[in-house]
Amino acid sequence: QVQLQESGPGLVKPSQTLSLTCTVSGASINSGAYYWSWFRQHPGKGLECIAYFYYSGSTYYNPSLKRRATISVDASKNEFSLKLNSVTAADTAVYYCARRQNFGPVDYWGQGTLVTVPS
Amino acid sequence: QSVLTQPPSVSGAPGQRVTISCTGSSSNIGAGYDVHWYQQLPGAAPKLLIYNNSDRPSGVPDRFSGSKSGTSASLAITGLQTEDEGIYYCQSYDTSLSGLGLFGGGTKLTVL
């Protein structure tokens, strides 16, 4: 059974960097079949894809984040991380890590972690 | 405003049938990308409900079904149950987003 678990601070001060890690079990992030992603959901709002990476090293970021996001990978720990710099209150959201297929569905989600940036 | 348009809310009585629409354009659903549907219950992560327009993952009841035509897709739920209350999202891809994925704004289902 594939499981993903987000971890990281629940409170980040404005202008600082949000850092989250996703620990994956039951699947290898180095497998070629899947894309590993970060999503977020603002309070009471819909879902937004932040970024994803593929095991080959390719990454893609949502242009709306204006280059503030970075994904990094630690294959030895089967983990991938998200850094979002210069955060504001608008970055307050539940952040999810997830696995998806190439142009396919998101088949596994983490439970999500709420990150609050006070105004 | 989402690129994929869903009605904000739908409702139905237990046992009834409801449908949720997802309207896109020629650059996403109409371009041939499959549509996937998710159910999000209060306080929980989204759960894959329908993939590739009409396929159900193992464990999803056959009360849930999906279809796609042209630039739109639909989710149908028959035999409504109180535990179906939640928010439903459609998801697809767009030629302008390099595989990033995009979601509809979500539809809140209320079981009366």
For B4-37, how does the pLDDT look when each residue is reduced to its tens digit (9 = 90+)?
999 999 999 999 999 999 999 999 999 999 999 9
Rounded Cα distance between B83 and A11, Å, is 33
For A13-37, how does the pLDDT look when each residue is reduced to its tens digit (9 = 90+)?
999 999 999 999 999 998 878 999 9
Q: Which of B45, B98, B102 sits opposite A96 (nearest CB)?
A: B45
* First-to-final CA distance of chain A: 39
pLDDT of residue A55: 83
Query: Which of A6, A47, A50, A114 to probe by mutation at the B interface, max B CB count within 10 Å?
Result: A47
Cβ under 8 Å to B: A residues 71-100:
96, 100
Rounded Cα distance between B39 and B18, Å, is 14
Question: Which residues in chain A show pLDDT less than 50?
Answer: none
pLDDT of residue A68: 95
CB pair distance less than 8 Å for B105 and A46: yes
CB pair distance less than 8 Å for B51 and A105: yes
Q: For chain B, give the secondary structure using H, E and C.
A: CCCEECCCEEEECCCCCEEEEEECCCCCHHHCCCCEEEEECCCCCCEEEEECCCECCCCCCCCEEEEEECCEEEEEECCCCHHHCEEEEEEECCCCCCCCCEEECCEEEEEC
CB pair distance less than 8 Å for B103 and A47: yes
User: Who's near B21: CB < 8 A, 6+ residues apart?
Assistant: B5, B6, B7, B72, B73, B74
Query: Which of B110, B84, B30, B101 lies closest to A62, judged by CA?
Result: B101
Closest residue in B to A40 (Cα) is: B45
Rounded Cα distance between A43 and A48, Å, is 12
Q: Which phi-psi region, left, alpha or beta, contains residue A5 (left: φ > 0; alpha: ψ -120 to 50)?
A: beta
Average pLDDT over residues B43-56: 96
